[in-house]
Structure 1
Amino acid sequence: MTLHLVTGVYTPQQDTYDIILELPYKKTGTNVVEAFKYFRVANGNSFQGDFALSELETKVTVNTNTCFSATFSGRATIGNSEVIITEGIIMHVYTDPFD
């Protein structure tokens, strides 16, 4: 399963965060996320990269066809910057349940 979360729009004038999580559908628990990809646009500059799973703590509490919930924290070097996320929370209800 891939969960793609975006806030903002992809233009140099607009701050944008884009996170892609890959994990087994329906699986919950600690560190079940298989990939955590990060993309950021700020002040006309863009940065992208993957968080190393060894540097990422995740806890998926809900993973159904109607909603998803997880917490996460970690660090990555992306471009020439260190990105640190602490106490990240995702709670998402799908508009349409899927099979």
Structure 2
Amino acid sequence: MGMASYYADRYHGRTTASGERFDQQALTAAHRTLAFGTRVRVTRLDNGREVTVRINDRGPFVRGRIIDLSKRAARQLGMVRDGTVKVRLSVLR
């Protein structure tokens, strides 16, 4: 468990650590250690909403945050207005 945030619009189109171009409309995320391509279920703890994302970047590099989501993933969790929310991550196999 930890805090999730989402990418600012200025990162749209930039190259991620995996070499892909970042797309705010894709269901992707950044994590510090999970392998690129890992699928992760992200559950927002205060409302139970879930989204499945694919790891394609490194980060977040802000203390206390465990995952950075694309804007589309953040919308599905209903967190765009809040900016950061408490989540649980589950690696899917």
Same fold flag (TM > 0.5): no
**Greater radius of gyration (CA):** 1
Structure scoring higher RCO (CA < 8 A, sep ≥ 6) equals 2
Name the TM tier (shorter chain): under 0.3
